[in-house]
Homo-oligomer: A and B are copies of this chain.
Amino acid sequence: MRSLVSENAVRRLPKYLRALKHLEESGAVRVSSAELGKLVGMTPSQIRQDLSSFGEFGIQGYGYNVTDLSQQIEIIMGTDRGHRAILVGCGGLGRSLIQNFSFEEQGVQLVAAFDMCEDLIGTKMNGVPVYSAKTLPEFLSCHEIDMAVLAVPKRSAKSVANQLIEYGIRAFWNFTNEDVISPYSDILVENVHFSDSLLSLSYYMAEKTDYETRMLHRMNKIAVVS
């Protein structure tokens, strides 16, 4: 199942959406691809190309209606699908997701959380009930769940994911910093690998430092020569 639109385009839509919501808040009614482009740091062409791969949302000579486009993008992203999620692993990160991240804002319903820790079982976090991980198969057999948020420790990431797949889960939002699924599987996995992200930042910091150091040396040489 090869997607019809480029992954790059899909991943740029949320950025457009954020800019549009800010525009909406600031009272803007219309926006051109040129304006939006300046806002998000992309070319007008790219924005028009990206949008046109999902439909026609603009009006010639006018631009885009901010509210309309914003809503259209939300629909494209599936926020109206009523996706239902469970969260597995109520450690520090899991807890902070339940308590601080607004799943509803992205159109996702977080219906339950699961953990091994006896102390947590039976409690509610931000309105979300916490059940024993042992009851997962039972729970999943009688509830329609579309997605699992994986927030278990690295070491159990793969085994938990595989179990969940057995119980019928077909999509993961994965916070374990581990690759949990074979790259050839058709299970959807969206990784939020903090460690990869920090490493990339670290790389660019190092690159920048090296570049600045080189520049400095070059300038010193020039100073000496002249």
Contacts and interface: CB of A to CB of B under 8 A. Distances in A.
Q: How many copies does the complex hold?
A: 2
- Looking at chain A's contact residues, the main secondary structure is helix
Nearest to A18: B179
A171 interface: yes
Interface stretch (A89-97, A130-138, A159-167): A89-97
Name the interface size band of chain A.
Answer: 35 or more
A41 B178 CA distance: 15
A11 B195 CA distance: 11
Given A11-B196, A190-B197, 8 more contacts: A18-B179, A77-B203, A78-B203, A81-B202, A81-B206, A146-B205, A147-B201, A171-B201
Interface of A: 1, 3, 10-11, 13-15, 17-19, 40-42, 76-79, 81, 83, 91-93, 95-97, 99-103, 105-108, 146-147, 170-171, 173, 178-179, 182-184, 188, 190, 192-209, 211
